[in-house]
Amino acid sequence: MNNIFDIFKQIESQKPAASGPIEWLIVGLGNPGKEYENTRHNAGFIAISLLAEKCGVKINKSKFKALIAEATISDKRVLLMMPQTYMNLSGEAVAEAATFYKIPPERILVFSDDISLDVAKTRVRRKGSHGGQKGLKSITEHLGSSDFPRVKLGVGQKPHPDYDLADWVLSNFTADERKRMNEAAEHAVDACRLIVAGKTDEAMNRFN
């Protein structure tokens, strides 16, 4: 089955770019800077970087307080975004792009880290609370809505209750954890394709 999906993704990446307006905004949450590249808080960046690679594009254009790239996913024209505002202000970038392209919350898909999930577990949601994740909280506040889909990537709970949460999410993945996170990112990419195609239920059934 995996081989079939690989072939499907290869075919899709070779399709001509979709025409018409930007229909979806796909956001990966994280913190800019090399020092944060392998940290738990950057799970969203890891996922969207893989998505861009699969789409044959580079997220390297600066606009909306973010790095962006246009791509085609499930025959839809989409904007890939990595906010450069740091996590707790991610909503500024998302709201700017959403306003510019007139994209409603239900067509803004967010990849984020989640400390309530074991490392590399994924959870797809149509909408929901931010659960304390500062990037999701900022997006909710700036959009005035929590009705946006998201794919959460587990980064594991704190080792013990007294461990500082900020230190934990800014800690680096171990080599084994990073390998598993790369696999989780593959699942996030596949879930994204389904969600954009209007198959959120299927994405939830497959990857939750």
Distance CA 109, CA 64 (A): 17
What pTM does this model have?
A: 0.88
Q: What count of residues does the chain have?
A: 208
CA 84/CA 42 separation, integer angstroms: 12
**Cβ–Cβ contacts within 10 Å for residue 77, how many?**
17
Better-predicted residue by pLDDT, 12 or 26: 26
Q: How many CB atoms lie within 10 A of CB 134?
A: 19
Question: In the predicted model, is pLDDT for residue 3 greater than 80?
Answer: no
pLDDT value for 73: 95
The active-site residue out of 41, 130, 142, 160 is: 41
Q: Which residue has the higher pLDDT, 18 or 3?
A: 18
Both structure tokens of 123 = 């959870």
pLDDT in tens, 146-184: 999 999 999 999 888 889 989 999 999 999 999 999 999
Q: Would you say 17 and 95 are in contact if contact means Cβ atoms under 8 Å apart?
A: no
Q: What is the DSSP letter of 39?
A: B
Write the pLDDT tens digit of every residue in 13-46.
555 556 789 999 999 999 999 999 999 999 999 9
Q: Which residues pair with 70 in a beta bridge?
A: 79
Output the pLDDT for position 130. Answer: 85
- Give pLDDT, residue 107: 97
Residue 41 is among the residues annotated as catalytic for this protein: yes
Confidence of residue 132 (pLDDT cuts 50, 70, 90): confident
pLDDT at 5 > cutoff 80: no
For residue 113 the two structure tokens come to 């880290």
| Domain boundary assignment for the chain | 24-32+44-69+94-114+140-208
User: If 0-12 CB within 10 Å is exposed, 13-18 middle and 19+ buried, where does residue 12 land?
Assistant: middle
Instruction: Give pLDDT tens digits for 74-114.
Output: 999 999 999 999 999 999 999 999 999 999 999 999 999 99
- Residue 16, pLDDT score: 54
Residue at token pair 């499907």: 8
Q: Is the pLDDT of residue 208 over 60?
A: yes
Q: Is the pLDDT of residue 6 over 80?
A: no
Shortest CA distance to 93 belongs to which of 127, 55, 143, 152?
Answer: 143
What CATH number does domain 24-32+44-69+94-114+140-208 carry, 3.30.70.1380, 3.40.50.12280, 3.40.50.1470, 3.30.300.20?
3.40.50.1470
